[in-house]
Amino acid sequence: MQDMRGHRFCEVGLITAASQGGAVANIWNTVGASDPEPEQVDALDADTIARENGVLRVWLNPVRHSMFDRLDVRDVGDDRTFGAINATWTGAADEAALRQATAQGSYNPRYIYCNNTLTFGKGSKVYLLDAPDGEVFILQSLSRHVDPDLSEAGLAHPGARLDLPAGWGFRTETLDQDLEVSSNADNLAHILHDDMHNAYQGSDAGRAFSRFCRPEERW
């Protein structure tokens, strides 16, 4: 899918018990299936969705806006309707890992199963977190869940708004060529959320990025 930057979407996770005694969240995403209005997402009720789908619990990911330019998805499943929203199965995760990865400001990346590639086009501005161990995380979606007025313009200097853990850094770059960010060979993406609930995907020791960038290097 082309022209994805700024595209609005949300996600619904249906949580079921795993045979090992844990719990797994299967994730449905609205990209390509519907264009959810914020009020339609706000109207979703986790208990009702859980009861209608016969699952233990439901995880709801609020409305987000894509920060990449192109999306290629290689593994999709069935379509389902949740309230007034249509969505397509696109991945899964251990429930505990999902909740840790998407906790506001946890800076605690975890792996989520998906099989896709995000392309950030030449000339695009990208927003990067640098972890102490050298992993680079690129902003993949913007959320207005914390700040209803947040826009890309407000991301240029977010230092005062991000309570980064010791050793972490934030920077912006303008790409001089396309950058592809993919799930790794096991179809796993390394995900975390910042203090504003914006979502990032990690370079995963260079396995996820078509080009790896350290803080002292330029794109």
pLDDT digits (tens, 9 = 90+) for 108-128: 999 999 999 999 999 999 999
Cβ contacts of 19 within 8 Å, gap of 6 or more:
none
Domain ranges of the chain: 8-202
CA 104 to chain centre: 12
**pLDDT band at residue 132, thresholds of 50, 70 and 90?**
very high
Q: Alpha carbon of 25 to those of 15, 63, 155: distances in Å?
A: 4, 18, 30
Both structure tokens of 212: 């790896």
The residue ranking higher by pLDDT, 164 or 145, is: 164
Both structure tokens of 128: 């990067």
- Among the residue ranges 15-24, 56-65, 69-78, 167-176, the one predicted with the least confidence is 15-24
Bridge partners of residue 136, in order along the sequence: 130
d(CA 197, CA 23): 23
Residues comprising the chain, all counted: 219
Q: Are 128 and 136 in contact (CB under 8 A)?
A: yes
